[in-house]
Structure 1
Protein backbone atom coordinates (compact mmCIF):
# COMPACT_ATOMS: atom_id res chain seq x y z
CA UNK A 1 0.00 0.00 0.00
CA UNK A 2 1.32 3.42 -0.94
CA UNK A 3 1.76 5.91 1.85
CA UNK A 4 0.20 9.34 1.84
CA UNK A 5 2.79 12.11 1.50
CA UNK A 6 2.27 15.86 1.89
CA UNK A 7 4.57 18.41 0.30
CA UNK A 8 4.72 22.20 0.20
CA UNK A 9 6.97 22.16 -2.86
CA UNK A 10 4.96 23.87 -5.59
CA UNK A 11 7.16 22.42 -8.34
CA UNK A 12 5.63 19.00 -7.72
CA UNK A 13 1.99 20.09 -7.83
CA UNK A 14 -0.21 18.75 -10.60
CA UNK A 15 -1.53 22.11 -11.83
CA UNK A 16 -3.85 20.66 -14.51
CA UNK A 17 -5.45 18.40 -11.88
CA UNK A 18 -5.86 21.26 -9.41
CA UNK A 19 -7.34 23.53 -12.08
CA UNK A 20 -9.67 20.85 -13.39
CA UNK A 21 -10.97 20.03 -9.92
CA UNK A 22 -11.43 23.65 -8.84
CA UNK A 23 -12.98 24.82 -12.11
CA UNK A 24 -15.26 21.83 -12.70
CA UNK A 25 -16.07 20.30 -9.31
CA UNK A 26 -16.26 23.06 -6.69
CA UNK A 27 -18.97 25.54 -5.81
CA UNK A 28 -16.42 28.22 -4.88
CA UNK A 29 -14.21 28.33 -7.98
CA UNK A 30 -16.40 26.98 -10.77
CA UNK A 31 -15.04 28.21 -14.09
CA UNK A 32 -11.82 29.71 -12.71
CA UNK A 33 -9.27 30.16 -15.51
CA UNK A 34 -6.01 28.18 -15.40
CA UNK A 35 -3.92 31.37 -15.27
CA UNK A 36 -5.68 32.48 -12.06
CA UNK A 37 -5.10 29.11 -10.41
CA UNK A 38 -1.43 29.34 -11.36
CA UNK A 39 -1.13 32.88 -9.99
CA UNK A 40 -2.93 31.96 -6.76
CA UNK A 41 -0.52 29.06 -6.21
CA UNK A 42 2.47 31.31 -6.93
CA UNK A 43 1.39 33.64 -4.11
CA UNK A 44 0.35 31.12 -1.47
CA UNK A 45 1.66 28.39 0.78
CA UNK A 46 0.38 25.22 -0.89
CA UNK A 47 0.02 21.70 0.42
CA UNK A 48 -0.17 18.84 -2.05
CA UNK A 49 -1.26 15.39 -0.90
CA UNK A 50 0.17 12.47 -2.86
CA UNK A 51 -0.22 8.72 -3.10
CA UNK A 52 2.93 7.61 -4.87
CA UNK A 53 3.46 10.11 -7.67
CA UNK A 54 -0.24 10.94 -8.04
CA UNK A 55 -1.70 14.02 -6.42
CA UNK A 56 -5.01 13.32 -4.69
CA UNK A 57 -5.43 16.30 -2.34
CA UNK A 58 -4.69 20.00 -2.11
CA UNK A 59 -4.95 22.96 0.25
CA UNK A 60 -3.77 26.54 -0.06
CA UNK A 61 -3.05 29.11 2.65
CA UNK A 62 -2.86 32.85 2.07
CA UNK A 63 -0.89 34.49 4.87
CA UNK A 64 1.47 37.19 6.04
CA UNK A 65 3.02 34.46 8.29
CA UNK A 66 2.81 36.82 11.25
CA UNK A 67 -0.75 37.73 12.20
CA UNK A 68 -3.24 36.30 9.70
CA UNK A 69 -3.96 33.32 7.45
CA UNK A 70 -6.87 32.20 5.30
CA UNK A 71 -7.34 28.55 4.33
CA UNK A 72 -8.77 28.04 0.84
CA UNK A 73 -9.16 25.55 -2.02
CA UNK A 74 -9.10 22.43 0.16
CA UNK A 75 -10.04 19.19 -1.56
CA UNK A 76 -9.49 15.45 -1.65
CA UNK A 77 -10.43 13.75 -4.90
CA UNK A 78 -13.79 11.98 -4.47
CA UNK A 79 -12.43 8.48 -5.00
CA UNK A 80 -10.00 8.96 -2.09
CA UNK A 81 -12.35 10.48 0.47
CA UNK A 82 -13.20 8.81 3.75
CA UNK A 83 -9.68 7.47 4.34
CA UNK A 84 -8.31 10.21 6.58
CA UNK A 85 -6.41 12.10 3.88
CA UNK A 86 -8.28 15.35 4.51
CA UNK A 87 -7.49 15.18 8.21
CA UNK A 88 -3.83 14.40 7.48
CA UNK A 89 -3.72 17.39 5.13
CA UNK A 90 -5.19 19.66 7.82
CA UNK A 91 -2.74 18.28 10.40
CA UNK A 92 0.10 19.31 8.07
CA UNK A 93 -1.37 22.77 7.50
CA UNK A 94 -1.81 23.52 11.19
CA UNK A 95 1.59 22.09 12.12
CA UNK A 96 3.47 24.14 9.54
CA UNK A 97 6.12 26.27 11.29
CA UNK A 98 5.25 29.46 9.38
CA UNK A 99 1.62 29.25 10.50
CA UNK A 100 2.21 29.17 14.24
CA UNK A 101 1.22 31.96 16.63
CA UNK A 102 -1.15 33.70 14.22
CA UNK A 103 -3.80 35.96 15.75
CA UNK A 104 -6.47 35.01 13.22
CA UNK A 105 -6.90 32.03 10.91
CA UNK A 106 -10.02 32.08 8.74
CA UNK A 107 -11.79 29.93 6.20
CA UNK A 108 -15.13 29.67 4.47
CA UNK A 109 -16.90 26.35 4.05
CA UNK A 110 -20.29 25.23 2.94
CA UNK A 111 -20.01 21.57 3.89
CA UNK A 112 -17.02 20.68 6.10
CA UNK A 113 -17.81 22.37 9.40
CA UNK A 114 -17.21 19.13 11.34
CA UNK A 115 -13.69 18.71 9.98
CA UNK A 116 -12.66 22.29 10.68
CA UNK A 117 -14.25 22.33 14.15
CA UNK A 118 -11.68 19.66 15.09
CA UNK A 119 -9.01 22.33 14.53
CA UNK A 120 -10.70 25.00 16.66
CA UNK A 121 -12.69 26.81 13.98
CA UNK A 122 -15.96 28.32 15.14
CA UNK A 123 -18.42 30.91 13.91
CA UNK A 124 -16.89 34.41 14.21
CA UNK A 125 -16.88 35.72 17.77
CA UNK A 126 -17.81 39.18 16.51
CA UNK A 127 -19.67 38.65 13.21
CA UNK A 128 -20.84 42.26 13.28
CA UNK A 129 -17.22 43.35 12.79
CA UNK A 130 -16.59 41.23 9.69
CA UNK A 131 -17.28 42.46 6.19
CA UNK A 132 -16.52 41.16 2.75
CA UNK A 133 -16.63 42.01 -0.91
CA UNK A 134 -17.91 38.91 -2.66
CA UNK A 135 -18.36 38.42 -6.39
CA UNK A 136 -19.69 34.86 -6.83
CA UNK A 137 -19.96 35.09 -10.62
CA UNK A 138 -16.49 36.50 -11.31
CA UNK A 139 -15.40 33.37 -13.21
CA UNK A 140 -18.62 32.98 -15.20
CA UNK A 141 -18.09 33.05 -18.93
CA UNK A 142 -20.47 35.36 -20.78
CA UNK A 143 -22.20 33.77 -23.78
Structure 2
Protein backbone atom coordinates (compact mmCIF):
# COMPACT_ATOMS: atom_id res chain seq x y z
CA UNK A 1 0.00 0.00 0.00
CA UNK A 2 1.13 3.56 -0.59
CA UNK A 3 2.96 5.47 2.13
CA UNK A 4 1.02 7.89 4.28
CA UNK A 5 1.73 11.44 3.12
CA UNK A 6 2.63 13.61 6.06
CA UNK A 7 0.49 16.52 7.10
CA UNK A 8 2.34 19.81 6.69
CA UNK A 9 3.64 21.51 9.83
CA UNK A 10 1.03 23.64 11.53
CA UNK A 11 -2.02 21.48 10.75
CA UNK A 12 -3.81 18.60 12.42
CA UNK A 13 -6.56 16.16 11.41
CA UNK A 14 -9.43 15.27 13.70
CA UNK A 15 -12.49 13.04 13.46
CA UNK A 16 -14.15 14.76 16.42
CA UNK A 17 -17.60 15.77 15.12
CA UNK A 18 -17.78 18.59 17.69
CA UNK A 19 -14.91 20.36 15.90
CA UNK A 20 -16.61 20.51 12.51
CA UNK A 21 -17.45 24.10 11.54
CA UNK A 22 -20.74 23.13 9.90
CA UNK A 23 -21.43 26.65 8.64
CA UNK A 24 -18.05 26.87 6.95
CA UNK A 25 -18.38 23.39 5.43
CA UNK A 26 -21.83 24.25 4.10
CA UNK A 27 -20.56 27.50 2.60
CA UNK A 28 -17.60 25.79 0.94
CA UNK A 29 -19.62 22.99 -0.56
CA UNK A 30 -22.77 24.88 -1.54
CA UNK A 31 -20.91 27.74 -3.22
CA UNK A 32 -17.62 26.32 -4.49
CA UNK A 33 -17.92 22.54 -4.97
CA UNK A 34 -19.35 21.51 -8.35
CA UNK A 35 -20.96 18.40 -6.87
CA UNK A 36 -22.81 20.26 -4.09
CA UNK A 37 -23.74 23.67 -5.54
CA UNK A 38 -26.92 24.84 -3.90
CA UNK A 39 -27.02 22.11 -1.25
CA UNK A 40 -29.17 23.36 1.61
CA UNK A 41 -27.78 23.85 5.09
CA UNK A 42 -30.37 21.41 6.41
CA UNK A 43 -29.24 18.72 3.96
CA UNK A 44 -25.57 19.39 4.73
CA UNK A 45 -26.17 19.19 8.48
CA UNK A 46 -27.96 15.85 8.01
CA UNK A 47 -25.05 14.56 5.91
CA UNK A 48 -22.57 15.57 8.61
CA UNK A 49 -24.71 13.98 11.32
CA UNK A 50 -24.90 10.61 9.56
CA UNK A 51 -21.27 10.38 8.40
CA UNK A 52 -17.76 9.84 9.67
CA UNK A 53 -16.26 13.34 9.39
CA UNK A 54 -12.66 14.47 9.01
CA UNK A 55 -11.47 18.00 9.50
CA UNK A 56 -8.09 19.60 8.97
CA UNK A 57 -7.36 22.44 11.38
CA UNK A 58 -4.67 25.09 11.69
CA UNK A 59 -2.96 24.29 15.00
CA UNK A 60 -2.29 27.95 15.77
CA UNK A 61 -5.91 29.12 15.50
CA UNK A 62 -8.03 25.96 15.47
CA UNK A 63 -9.61 27.21 12.23
CA UNK A 64 -10.95 24.47 9.99
CA UNK A 65 -9.23 24.56 6.58
CA UNK A 66 -10.35 21.30 4.94
CA UNK A 67 -13.05 18.66 5.21
CA UNK A 68 -13.98 15.17 4.08
CA UNK A 69 -16.71 12.77 5.06
CA UNK A 70 -17.27 9.05 4.71
CA UNK A 71 -20.54 7.15 4.50
CA UNK A 72 -19.86 3.64 5.74
CA UNK A 73 -21.27 0.59 7.49
CA UNK A 74 -17.78 0.07 9.01
CA UNK A 75 -17.91 -3.56 7.85
CA UNK A 76 -17.93 -3.93 4.06
CA UNK A 77 -18.18 -0.60 2.27
CA UNK A 78 -17.32 3.11 2.40
CA UNK A 79 -18.04 6.08 0.18
CA UNK A 80 -15.56 8.96 0.42
CA UNK A 81 -17.22 12.25 -0.45
CA UNK A 82 -17.24 16.01 0.04
CA UNK A 83 -13.45 16.25 0.06
CA UNK A 84 -12.73 19.97 0.10
CA UNK A 85 -9.65 22.07 0.83
CA UNK A 86 -10.15 25.77 1.50
CA UNK A 87 -8.84 28.05 -1.25
CA UNK A 88 -6.30 29.80 0.99
CA UNK A 89 -4.44 26.57 1.80
CA UNK A 90 -4.58 24.70 -1.51
CA UNK A 91 -1.30 23.44 -2.91
CA UNK A 92 0.19 22.55 0.48
CA UNK A 93 -0.59 18.83 0.33
CA UNK A 94 -3.44 19.02 2.84
CA UNK A 95 -5.94 17.23 0.58
CA UNK A 96 -3.56 14.38 -0.11
CA UNK A 97 -2.74 14.00 3.59
CA UNK A 98 -6.44 14.18 4.46
CA UNK A 99 -7.44 11.41 2.06
CA UNK A 100 -4.50 9.29 3.24
CA UNK A 101 -5.70 9.77 6.83
CA UNK A 102 -9.19 8.68 5.81
CA UNK A 103 -7.74 5.55 4.20
CA UNK A 104 -5.76 4.71 7.33
CA UNK A 105 -8.71 5.40 9.66
CA UNK A 106 -10.83 2.96 7.64
CA UNK A 107 -8.15 0.26 7.26
CA UNK A 108 -8.92 -1.58 10.57
CA UNK A 109 -12.52 -2.20 9.49
CA UNK A 110 -11.43 -4.63 6.78
CA UNK A 111 -13.67 -3.01 4.15
CA UNK A 112 -13.86 -4.58 0.70
CA UNK A 113 -13.68 -1.20 -1.00
CA UNK A 114 -13.76 2.54 -0.61
CA UNK A 115 -15.46 4.29 -3.50
CA UNK A 116 -15.45 7.91 -4.56
CA UNK A 117 -16.52 9.97 -7.54
CA UNK A 118 -14.48 12.80 -9.02
CA UNK A 119 -14.69 14.91 -12.11
CA UNK A 120 -11.24 16.47 -11.94
CA UNK A 121 -8.91 14.91 -9.34
CA UNK A 122 -8.16 11.43 -10.66
CA UNK A 123 -4.40 11.95 -10.39
CA UNK A 124 -4.56 13.02 -6.75
CA UNK A 125 -6.55 9.95 -5.76
CA UNK A 126 -4.49 7.59 -7.94
CA UNK A 127 -1.36 8.56 -5.99
CA UNK A 128 -3.15 7.25 -2.89
CA UNK A 129 -4.07 3.89 -4.42
CA UNK A 130 -7.48 4.61 -5.94
CA UNK A 131 -8.08 3.38 -9.49
CA UNK A 132 -10.85 3.25 -12.03
CA UNK A 133 -13.44 0.51 -11.59
CA UNK A 134 -12.38 -2.79 -13.11
CA UNK A 135 -15.90 -3.45 -14.32
CA UNK A 136 -17.89 -0.22 -14.52
CA UNK A 137 -20.55 -2.19 -16.39
CA UNK A 138 -21.28 -3.98 -13.08
CA UNK A 139 -22.27 -0.72 -11.38
CA UNK A 140 -25.55 1.09 -11.67
CA UNK A 141 -27.07 4.25 -10.27
CA UNK A 142 -30.64 5.17 -9.40
CA UNK A 143 -30.91 8.96 -9.89
CA UNK A 144 -33.50 10.44 -7.55
CA UNK A 145 -33.15 14.12 -8.39
Change (3 A) 1:99 1:20: farther
Shift of 1:19: 0.3
Shift of 1:99: 5.5
Give the Cα–Cα distance (whole angstroms) in 1 for the partners of residues 111 and 128 of structure 2.
14
After the TM superposition, which parts of structure 1 deviate over 6 Å for at least 4 consecutive aligned residues? none
Q: Which runs of 5+ in 2 are unaligned?
A: 1-7
Is the Cα–Cα contact under 8 Å of residues 65 and 99 in structure 1 kept in the other structure? no
User: How much is the aligned-residue C-alpha RMSD, in angstroms?
Assistant: 1.7
Q: Which runs of 5+ in 1 are unaligned?
A: 139-143
Change (3 A) 1:11 1:116: same
Residue among 29, 51, 63 paired with 1:44:
51
Q: Deviations over 1:8-59 (max 9, x none)?
A: 0111111110000110001101000101111101111000000131000000
Q: Deviations over 1:89-129 (max 9, x none)?
A: 11210110566421121000011111110122111111111
TM-score, with length taken from structure 1: 0.89
Equivalent residues, number? 136
Residue 125 (str. 1) matches residue 134 (str. 2): yes
Within 5 A, what are the aligned runs for 1:103-114?
103-114=112-123
Q: Where does residue 25 of structure 1 map in the other structure?
A: 32
Give the Cα–Cα distance (whole angstroms) in 2 for the partners of residues 86 and 10 of structure 1.
19
Give 3-state SS (helix, strand or coil) of 1:72's partner.
strand
